[in-house]
């Protein structure tokens, strides 16, 4: 470009900067106003970023990283420009807070009680435990189906753990019917363990109609091996769902009802529902 061209260009463009022509130019080219805004916004962003970087260098010294003043200043920065500062609060929920453990009694270890026709307690327990797991997953919980001596039981952490068993298949008497629930004899939090037992007994009886037999819990139940293996924060109980002899029909032909009784008991405990201990057998 030579000087003549430059001059002629200047002369030529002059009228456009004055009078009516300017208005026409801007109307026919609506985008002409945008570059100035973009430049301004860009500069603003640069200043905000520069301010934040400077602030972060100032804030994040080892001594004041977690001080109240730091949090206060970050909060003020967030108030000034909520979209620029990333959310500080993250969801800290650990898996244990929504986790439930279900032990299928005797599973992968031994048969447990055995009936004359070959039906085993292990089979009955596993069917019920599997249904309990499915129902609780449908309720939104993370559920571990555990075998009798599952290696995960060591220091197992969960909101609650229930071990599912059934009583003998031998005929004892016409009184040998109904269910039992027990917590560990030495629970770390006895009031929580007691509440779990009450919830299980009440809800299980209401759904299944089986008789509650609180006075016939055995040392096998109160000193159940898993109680000593799991983490002390995990509330745990063991349920004998019924007798394989006199309660066989409901246990094997209506396992869904049995499972629902257990699920309702667990949810009663987890959700802190109102509950009163059902009247025990005389």
Beta carbon nearer to Zn ion, 165 or 203: 165
CB of 120 to Zn ion, least distance (A): 10
CB of 64 to Zn ion, least distance (A): 58
| Residues contacting Zn ion: total by CB under 5 A | 3
Beta carbon nearer to Zn ion, 149 or 189: 149
Q: Which residues of 162-188 are buried (b: 16+ CB within 10 A; e: fewer)?
A: bbbbbbbbeeeeeebbbbbbbbbeebe
Which has the closest alpha carbon to 178: 124, 240, 231, 101?
240
- Contact residues for 160 (Cβ-Cβ < 8 A; gap 6+): 100, 101, 196, 234, 235, 236, 266, 269, 270
Beta carbon nearer to Zn ion, 196 or 238: 238
CB of 134 to Zn ion, least distance (A): 22
Query: DSSP alpha helices (H): ranges in 139-245?
Result: 190-208, 219-222, 225-229
CB of 258 to Zn ion, least distance (A): 15
Distance between first and last Cα of the chain: 112
**Does residue 214 bind Zn ion (CB under 5 A)?**
no
Query: DSSP alpha helices (H): ranges in the chain?
Result: 3-13, 19-28, 34-59, 68-80, 121-138, 190-208, 219-222, 225-229, 248-253, 255-270
Beta carbon nearer to Zn ion, 64 or 217: 217
Q: Which residue is nearest to Zn ion (CB)?
A: 165
Stretch that binds Zn ion, among 51-59, 108-116, 223-231, 272-280 (CB under 5 A): 108-116
**Does residue 112 bind Zn ion (CB under 5 A)?**
yes
Cβ neighbours of 266 (radius 10 Å): 27
Stretch that binds Zn ion, among 3-11, 74-82, 88-96, 101-109 (CB under 5 A): 101-109
Which has the closest alpha carbon to 181: 235, 221, 224, 122?
221
**Footprint on residues 48-77 left by Zn ion (CB under 5 A):** none
Stretch that binds Zn ion, among 47-55, 67-75, 102-110, 222-230 (CB under 5 A): 102-110
Q: 131 by DSSP, 3-state: which?
A: helix
Beta carbon nearer to Zn ion, 226 or 268: 226
The binder of Zn ion chosen from 100, 103, 105, 244 (CB under 5 A): 105
Site string for Zn ion, 155-194 (x = CB under 5 A): ----------x-----------------------------
Two structure tokens written together for 73:
């200043």
**Does residue 242 bind Zn ion (CB under 5 A)?**
no
The number of helices, as runs of H, and strands, as runs of E, in the chain is 10, 5
* Residue keyed to tokens 């949810």: 267
Per CB under 5 A, residues contacting Zn ion are 105, 112, 165
């Amino acid at each position: 470009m030579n000087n003549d061209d430059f001059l002629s260009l200047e002369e030529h463009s002059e009228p456009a900067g004055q009078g009516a022509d300017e208005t026409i130019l801007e109307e026919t080219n609506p985008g002409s106003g945008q570059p100035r805004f973009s430049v301004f916004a860009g500069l603003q962003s640069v200043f905000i970023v520069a301010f934040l970087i400077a602030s972060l260098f100032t804030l994040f010294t080892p001594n004041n990283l977690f001080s109240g003043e730091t949090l206060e200043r970050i909060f003020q920065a967030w108030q000034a420009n909520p979209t620029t500062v990333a959310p500080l609060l993250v969801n800290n929920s650990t898996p244990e807070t929504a986790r439930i453990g279900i032990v299928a009694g005797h599973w992968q270890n031994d048969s447990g009680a055995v009936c004359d026709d070959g039906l085993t307690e292990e089979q009955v327990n596993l069917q019920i435990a599997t249904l309990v797991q499915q129902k609780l997953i449908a309720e939104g919980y993370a559920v571990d189906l555990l075998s009798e001596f599952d290696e995960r039981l060591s220091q197992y952490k969960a909101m609650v753990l229930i071990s599912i068993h059934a009583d003998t298949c031998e005929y004892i008497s016409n009184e040998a019917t109904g269910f039992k629930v027990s917590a560990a004899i030495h629970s770390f939090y006895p009031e929580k363990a007691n509440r779990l037992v009450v919830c299980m007994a009440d809800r299980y009886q209401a759904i299944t109609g089986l008789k509650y037999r609180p006075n016939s819990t055995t040392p096998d139940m109160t000193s159940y091996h898993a109680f000593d293996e799991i983490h002390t924060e995990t509330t745990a109980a063991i349920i004998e769902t019924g007798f394989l002899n006199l309660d066989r029909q409901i246990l094997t032909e209506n396992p869904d009802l049995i499972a629902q009784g257990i699920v309702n008991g667990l949810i009663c405990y987890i959700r802190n529902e109102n509950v009163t201990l059902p009247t025990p057998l005389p």
